[in-house]
Structure 1
Amino acid sequence: MQMSMIFNESLRLYPPFAGFGRKVEREVRLGDVIVPANVALVISNLSFHHDPRIWGQDAQLFKPERFAEGVAKATNNNIGAFVPFGIGPRSCVGLNFAINEAKIALSMILQRYSFTLSPGYVHSPIQYVTVRPQHGVQVMLHPL
């Protein structure tokens, strides 16, 4: 459970894609806005992944315990508030593969090493196809 909480919080703060595109097939009302047919929209999941009305005033902080009781409880049953891989029939087909692969890789590393961030690490995420660290992730591995 702990690893899932850490992955979910990491994906909330730094989703693989900062937004996803959708095309409006027919005129639709979104709140007070009327969107005409054939309009392409870019939906920023970063905006609602960092919304203090959903996540609290500490929305910018890394707090995996938000997900201690699952995604539904963390989002107050707002299914569209946490969508790092999209939502619905167009969500990323690689979702389960990516999560399972990351869990396996991290489990294999943690069996043999502990790690700390390098003192020279600079936190600087950028959007380049996917969200990634601009200067890489410099870590120091310590054999167990």
Structure 2
Amino acid sequence: MSAATHDHRGGFDPDDLGMPPVYTLNLSAGQRSVLEWLVSRGAVFDTVTADVEEIAADCGTSVSTVYDSLARLEALHLADNPDPTRYRVNPRYFFAANPEIRRLVGEALDAPQITPDARATGPRKIGNTEARRRRTIKAVPDQQ
């Protein structure tokens, strides 16, 4: 791993998850619309079905603009097209837009593993309500 991928402590640098600022990519309005359409459908987290006619109608653009936009997003690696009708947005786009989450991921990767101690592996304590219920002395009803 190069020195550029490590911070001053030698750990993971969360800025490696970023990407060039979106404004430097010179995306057209149609390309930004298609990218946001994909993001709004959850394509950052999973592949989504992308019907070009539906995208065109939702974005108020032509089908050819959607095809051109998807091709440019693929060329920039902003979107991946694992099969002809499904797309996934590069997760780096999400991290570029959410630097606080990118920082948190970096901290999680640098943090020590959480290791259970003896108490964690012992028997589980019953809840306070259950413990009180067991300690409560109930009066025995008179049987006359």
TM bucket, shorter chain: under 0.3
Q: RCO higher in 1 or 2 (8 Å CA, sep ≥ 6)?
A: 2
The alignment's TM-score, normalised by the length of structure 2, stands at 0.24
Tell which structure's C-alpha radius of gyration is larger: 2
TM-score by length of 1: 0.24
